[in-house]
Structure 1
């Protein structure tokens, strides 16, 4: 094939004329891309073709679209690389890493760190033990420090404080950022603040200049105060990084971490009845909708999976589930790691409520429903089969 670039003046003219009926078809639109929260986004406007009368047509069978597809090499969009060769200072972030991966709360924290770092500072992420994350660069990590060893596994807040003290002595970050969460960041941040003798800014949801705003008065009031060196931030404290790639260069401590005389013995996780876990805190949700015909089988399946039960608004209105189990904008917004939707078509308010879920599995008879389009894994079939 010739390497000579051929130009089409008519196509270029149509691309410049926004009022032309073929203008949208001439634009190199992405079919799908990864959103800032790790959810695959699809361009629904990219399907279909322009008919002879200038009206856009969508052929669901695909019979007439085969010949209209423009054959071209797929070019993956590469984000610009953000490099800090010699940072003037560091902003340290200690993510929760629930399940070994960055959560949406962790990504918000990295976005806040870049707001504090500016163009001269670098964001240093401190990770304990093994992890499964592969997207530190797109999450906004400039330097990555992994503290490995059996002493940091499990519930070991005292030893982790010793590790953070070693990082503080070597890198001397301007600010320490930890998630104010129940997954360990809130407790570790307060222990670390007591060890440093610093007064932390807790429950922070906004940082503007030299002041920050946090929740107070049982969450009913806002408290504005100067930004302290150690910040415990809430979810959605800042926009996650999405427009640049970062180096995520590995760094190491120059000295070994001192061993702490532990006064806490980790006996492992305590078995908890999934039915007692609030919907907003559940990690694994098994949700049923109008398509469920055998509800006793649904309950037995949830028990066998060890999942927290959820339901759509239709199932709740029909009396099959209680109101506190309703998922969606009209019920409870959930942030589960895995969300299984059985017999749920996917109303807009329900899709809004599961927007922060990491993985969505849909079981439905209708392959064209919105829940199937939203799901990461789809099963087309009868749920009770």
Structure 2
């Protein structure tokens, strides 16, 4: 065996990124500290602590399975404020804002913009319509421009390109950054580039000086080219901002946008069967585990909520769910906005698979299980009774909405 100490770059990146769900779990535990009276205190719950009788303590805190992340989540870290009173230039970012919030791809993009802006430039985020995001400050946004209006609702690429042209004329940014994604950023970026008669750099995953590197050849090759003004970046193009908070000063357009007759008409959203949505793309997942006693009621609840069904490995092995519904490191890694775990204790492989989910709701009988520690909202009780109450609440809410509409 070699004596060389191997580094884990991904673990180091998670330890630096305060926005990562597993950030707290990657921090070294404090085994001893000095108390107010000068006495050295020891952490008796620390991993590997040897008690006075010579017995090594067993870690029951759940820290190895993400439990420490939830215990320290309430401790708010006051990051230093980064201010740019008079920006020398702008780096404009157009995030996808799926569901009205910044996605992981958007945060990577803002991290790349922060690198290009340096200390003299400002990152200007351009958002269309209403949003629900409250963490622009910790994502690296110095200036925020919200283009409001019904003309930006739904699928409106022509009007959005016209809005970006107006922003380009007023702020003359050094670079435009858009996510090269299937959520709208890739198409909007290419339409915008055609409108500006500029050639964008696509699928960019790295920028070094005045050169950018993008994927080519079906993702099998790297293509290096001079850094253009318009960049469509891939996921994980840079590390998200984690060490500073920013002003997020609102800015407005100096001129009103001219409305043109669109050639594309949005006919509205098309209803999609939640069961047909791939697990990796689902935004609302209702997952069941060994604690589910009534699977017919489970399916009925998922249908009432309009959620995509998932399952733990135990439920799949027992034949209650199909193999393609398995969530976890040995199944599918999911990035849902809301993940509801019913009767799932929270094995480490399952917690790894839901590490990128925004909100986790746990329904379980055991208040000390690791899924409860990971969850943002926990409901302790029998799953069958809770699911039945949930169906009743959904039906009551929908009937009330129908009466109000009538």
For this structure pair, what is the TM-score category when the shorter chain's length is used for normalisation?
Answer: 0.7 to 0.9
Listed one character per residue, the Cα deviations across residues 259-315 of structure 1 (whole Å, up to 9, x for unaligned) are 122011112110000111111110101111122222222112111111111111222
Stretches of structure 1 lacking an aligned partner (at least 5 in a row)? 1-33, 61-73
Deviation at 1:327, TM superposition (A): 1.0
Could you tell me how far apart the structure 1 residues matched to 2:161 and 2:55 are? 64
Could you tell me how far apart the structure 1 residues matched to 2:55 and 2:208 are? 48
Deviation at 1:360, TM superposition (A): 0.5
Q: Whose RCO is larger (CA < 8 A, sep 6+)?
A: 2
TM-score normalised by the chain length of structure 2: 0.78
Question: Counterparts in 2 of 1:185-334, with a 5 A limit?
Answer: 185-334=185-334
Could you tell me how far apart the structure 1 residues matched to 2:222 and 2:328 are? 27
Structure 1 vs Structure 2 CA RMSD: 2.6
Could you tell me how far apart the structure 1 residues matched to 2:272 and 2:110 are? 32
Listed one character per residue, the Cα deviations across residues 123-174 of structure 1 (whole Å, up to 9, x for unaligned) are 0000111112222111110111111112112221110100000000111111
Deviation at 1:76, TM superposition (A): 5.3
Q: SS at 2:383's partner residue?
A: coil
Q: Report how many residues are paired.
A: 340
Deviation at 1:328, TM superposition (A): 1.3
For the 8 Å contact 1:39–1:358, the answer to whether it is kept is no
Could you tell me how far apart the structure 2 residues matched to 1:143 and 1:152 are? 20
Which position in structure 1 is the counterpart of 2:148?
148
Which position in structure 2 is the counterpart of 1:35?
18
- Relative distance call for 1:221 and 1:150 in structure 2 (3 A) is same
Which position in structure 1 is the counterpart of 2:360?
360
Could you tell me how far apart the structure 2 residues matched to 1:84 and 1:341 are? 43
Deviation at 1:219, TM superposition (A): 2.7
Could you tell me how far apart the structure 1 residues matched to 2:83 and 2:344 are? 45
Q: SS at 2:309's partner residue?
A: strand
- Relative distance call for 1:118 and 1:149 in structure 2 (3 A) is same
Deviation at 1:352, TM superposition (A): 1.1
Which position in structure 2 is the counterpart of 1:11?
none
Q: SS at 2:224's partner residue?
A: strand
Greater shift, 280-289 or 75-84, is seen at 75-84
Q: SS at 1:120's partner residue?
A: coil
Deviation at 1:77, TM superposition (A): 3.8
Stretches of structure 2 lacking an aligned partner (at least 5 in a row)? 1-16, 32-41, 45-50, 61-73, 386-406
Deviation at 1:335, TM superposition (A): 0.8
